[in-house]
Amino acid sequence: MTTSARTLPLQMLYHWAEQRPDETYLRQPREDHWHDHSWGSVLEMAARLVSGLRRLGFEPGDKIALLSKNCAEWFICDFALQMGGYISVPIYPTAGADTIRYVLEHSESRALFIGKLDDPAAQEPGIPDDIVRMAMPYATTMETHHHWDSLLVHEPMMERPVPEPDTLMTLVYTSGSTGKPKGVMITHGAYAAACRGILETTGLNAEDRAFSYLPLAHITERVYVLGASLYAGTLVGFAHSLPTFVDNVKTIAPTVFISVPRLWTNFRSGILEKVPEAKLKWLLRIPLLSGLVKKKIKAGLGLDQARILGCGSAPVSPSLLRWYEKLDMPITEAWGMTENLAYSTLNYPFRSDKIGTVGKAGVGVDIRISDNGEILCRCAGMMKGYYKNDEATAQALHDGWLHTGDQGRLDDDGYLTITGRLKDAFKTAKGKYVLPVPIESMLIENGLIEQVCVVGSGQAQPMALVQLAEGSASQGREQVASALSATLGHINRSLESHQRLGGMLIMKEAWTVENDILTPTLKIKRHLLEQQYGDLDQRWPKGQTILWEQDL
């Protein structure tokens, strides 16, 4: 099928269901075996679900939320909501009760699909009593009003509706790194433009296979995997659980695998546990062994057939990307945000000399830098605005451009480097501004450091809060402190006096989504750490540069 600029994702679902009705589209592990869903069966289930929703009295324009980890049924619900003219409201499966309640109430959702969850008992108090609860076919301790099977008993709707491009398709709530999540309004046409852009930029096709595990509530997975799979006709597989993750990846053998810096870091730690760095370097220098070693490592991760490896959501260390490049695993870094549907820049086709940038503008995307260094974006795949927040909409969208709030620079080839957020800059007690992101980028080059946040608003000097990488602690405090101290000295010599770090504080507890330091997309909630360590310079022992939090 030749797609035009106005071909919507639903039309592609209809196309594949007609042309390849019996070919597998979605592969879902459940109850110790794989459940394969063909293109034809996916469309039929979506059409039955629409009939079920109509029987329950839901009308086009109603908001219906989804709370589940990734699964085949998430896709099917999304298709049904589009077919029925409903507005979907995805919620992160790790969201706490307060966030769930806020999103459901702010969006005015009438119903909620409940699927795979790790801690439903903790989340259930966030669901208002008047919300109709509908269960996907997974065990849950939550009380539900309607089960999956009872929704699918109805005859499938026979119409094949095509929404108007400018009608609202979904409300995607931001991860809330600086406060309450904002509901980003996305139309069918904008979503289609972003999905098609991914297809045109990467060349995805029906021979590709994708693995879906990053939260579908985040726009990246919704565009790069769910949406792109419709245009490319790509098979998509899912994970059963964390313990089976790698085995599930091996079964699917994805040709496209998108991840986040933390998982790539964990993969590297797992590899180095089996083959220490010194031995790995030695093996890679031997021509006869190098290829075999690389092949074995890739096969061990289930990525031996991957042609596109991606990374986004949070800053990634260039040294980590270089490490994978030596294994013939070039990782494409990309940048985007919910407001431009996560489709802005990509380092694809991969260019080694552009590691450290987030790539160049994708097909149909314009990027420019404003006079104050802010990154501006213009493309067909942009939000309509923020739901119930005209003031924030006016700040973000004007003069035909999305004002991203990110700062950056473009090189002569059009490749973008992110230098920070406008709101992240802080003043020290000396009254001078510090941009934390460039300093953090230098710190994270040290392989001992997994995550770092530079704070210092109102303090004498900025300080670095550091979370050590897995395995770092096993080296012993003195060795770690010595290596970090050398890094600190090296970095400080390159900084102006007001930017120089007064010290590094090694965190006692890991930053996680559960303890609310990380957003569901693994971004650090900088403002919370600023609040928590706002008086660090007053508590810091004289003469110390590297300190463990438990000793503070």
Q: What is the mean pLDDT of residues 14-31?
A: 96
| Angle, CA of 465, 469 and 473, to the nearest 5° | 95
**Contact present, 477 and 519 (Cβ < 8 Å):** no
Q: Is residue 231 part of a domain?
A: no
Q: What is the mean pLDDT of residues 542-552?
A: 86
C-alpha to C-alpha distance for 338 and 521, rounded to whole angstroms = 11
Q: Is residue 524 part of a domain?
A: yes
C-alpha to C-alpha distance for 262 and 275, rounded to whole angstroms = 20
Residue 3 pLDDT > 80: no
C-alpha to C-alpha distance for 254 and 235, rounded to whole angstroms = 9
**Contact present, 134 and 114 (Cβ < 8 Å):** yes
Q: What is the mean pLDDT of residues 434-461?
A: 86
β strands within 104-261, DSSP E: 111-114, 132-135, 146-147, 168-173, 183-187, 209-212, 235-238, 256-259
C-alpha to C-alpha distance for 109 and 103, rounded to whole angstroms = 8
The number of distinct structural domains making up the chain is 1
**Contact present, 332 and 315 (Cβ < 8 Å):** no
Q: What is the mean pLDDT of residues 73-84?
A: 98
Q: Which pLDDT score, from 0 to 100, does residue 177 have? A: 58
Backbone angles phi, psi at 234, to 5 degrees: -90, 140
What are the tens digits of pLDDT across the range 191-233?
999 999 999 999 999 999 999 999 999 999 999 999 999 999 9
Q: State the amino acid at position 186 in one-letter form.
A: I
Q: Which pLDDT score, from 0 to 100, does residue 520 have? A: 79
Nearest one of 65, 73, 1, 96 to 513, comparing CA atoms: 96
In this structure, of 20-29, 318-327, 367-376, 474-483, the range with the lowest mean pLDDT score is: 474-483
**Contact present, 172 and 183 (Cβ < 8 Å):** yes
Q: Which pLDDT score, from 0 to 100, does residue 178 have? A: 60
Q: Which pLDDT score, from 0 to 100, does residue 269 have? A: 85
C-alpha to C-alpha distance for 114 and 127, rounded to whole angstroms = 11
C-alpha to C-alpha distance for 225 and 222, rounded to whole angstroms = 6
In this structure, of 365-379, 382-396, 473-487, the range with the lowest mean pLDDT score is: 473-487
DSSP 405-436: EEEEEE-TT-BEEEEEEGGG-EE-TTS-EE-H
Residue 244 pLDDT > 70: yes
What are the tens digits of pLDDT across the range 104-120?
999 999 999 999 999 99
- The single-letter DSSP state of residue 224 is I
In this structure, of 61-70, 162-171, 303-312, 421-430, the range with the lowest mean pLDDT score is: 421-430
What pLDDT band is residue 46 in, cutting at 50, 70 and 90? Answer: very high
| Angle, CA of 49, 149 and 95, to the nearest 5° | 75
Q: Is residue 215 part of a domain?
A: no
Contacts of 384 (CB under 8 A, 6+ apart): 168, 185, 186, 187, 190
Q: Is residue 547 part of a domain?
A: yes
CATH (domain of 513): 3.30.300.30
**Contact present, 381 and 372 (Cβ < 8 Å):** no
Residue 522 pLDDT > 80: no
C-alpha to C-alpha distance for 515 and 154, rounded to whole angstroms = 43
Backbone angles phi, psi at 272, to 5 degrees: -75, -20
Q: Is residue 77 part of a domain?
A: no
Residue 71 pLDDT > 60: yes
C-alpha to C-alpha distance for 310 and 325, rounded to whole angstroms = 12
Q: Is residue 539 part of a domain?
A: yes
518 forms bridges with which residues in the sheet?
524
CA distances from 403 to 1, 119, 387 (A): 36, 37, 17
**Contact present, 39 and 25 (Cβ < 8 Å):** yes
Most confidently modeled range among 139-148, 251-260, 464-473 = 251-260
Q: Which pLDDT score, from 0 to 100, does residue 4 have? A: 58
Q: Is residue 229 part of a domain?
A: no
Mean pLDDT of the chain: 92
Two tokens, residue 438: 């460039």
Two tokens, residue 12: 């592609």
CA distances from 72 to 25, 115, 116, 249 (A): 9, 10, 11, 15
What are the tens digits of pLDDT across the range 408-443?
999 999 999 998 888 888 888 778 788 888 888 888
What pLDDT band is residue 2 in, cutting at 50, 70 and 90? Answer: low
What pLDDT band is residue 5 in, cutting at 50, 70 and 90? Answer: low
Q: What is the mean pLDDT of residues 73-85?
A: 98
Q: Is residue 511 part of a domain?
A: yes
Q: Which pLDDT score, from 0 to 100, does residue 176 have? A: 64
**Domain span holding position 465:** 424-551
Q: Which pLDDT score, from 0 to 100, does residue 167 have? A: 97
